[in-house]
């Protein structure tokens, strides 16, 4: 791993088109600004890892679980709720 020391306001360039700037340093926290092309996804590592794990686990469920069990669970719940659901895509 390359290790660099930077002061607040200073930058790091990675390749042609990625620039990382140290904006602020606080108590145990550093604020970074990142400029990168649109095609590069930028995530906080720990959150990205969790999303990845969740996706992989979901794939494993599709592989190993039977669909009709999910449908049965859903229908049981709907019968209990007696039609209290609505379908819409309003955010």
Partner 1 sequence: MQIQTAKFGVVTVEEEKILHMPYGLAGFPGEDRFVILDKEDSRPFCWLQCVDEPEIALMLMDPYLFKPDYAVDVEPVQEEMGWTEESREDLLLYVVVRMYSEEAENPKKEAALRLVANLVSPLLVNAKKKQAVQVVMYDTHYSFEHPVV
Q: Which is nearer to partner 1, 8 or 71 (CB)?
A: 71
d(CA 58, CA 74): 17
CB of 42 to partner 1, least distance (A): 10
Q: Which is nearer to partner 1, 7 or 44 (CB)?
A: 44
Residues forming contacts to partner 1 in the complex (CB under 8 A) are 38-39, 41, 43-44, 47-48, 50-59, 61-63, 65, 67, 69-71, 73-74, 76-77, 85-91
CA dist list (Å): 3 to 12, 26, 39, 41, 66? 11, 20, 26, 23, 49
């Amino acid at each position: 791993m390359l290790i660099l020391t930077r002061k607040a306001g200073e930058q790091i360039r990675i390749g042609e088109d990625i620039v990382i700037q140290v904006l602020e340093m606080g108590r145990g926290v550093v604020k970074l600004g990142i400029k990168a092309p649109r095609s590069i996804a930028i995530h906080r590592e720990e959150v990205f890892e969790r999303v990845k794990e969740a996706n992989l686990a979901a794939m494993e469920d599709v592989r190993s679980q039977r669909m009709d069990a999910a449908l049965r669970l859903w229908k049981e719940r709907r019968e209990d709720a007696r039609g209290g659901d609505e379908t819409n895509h309003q955010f």
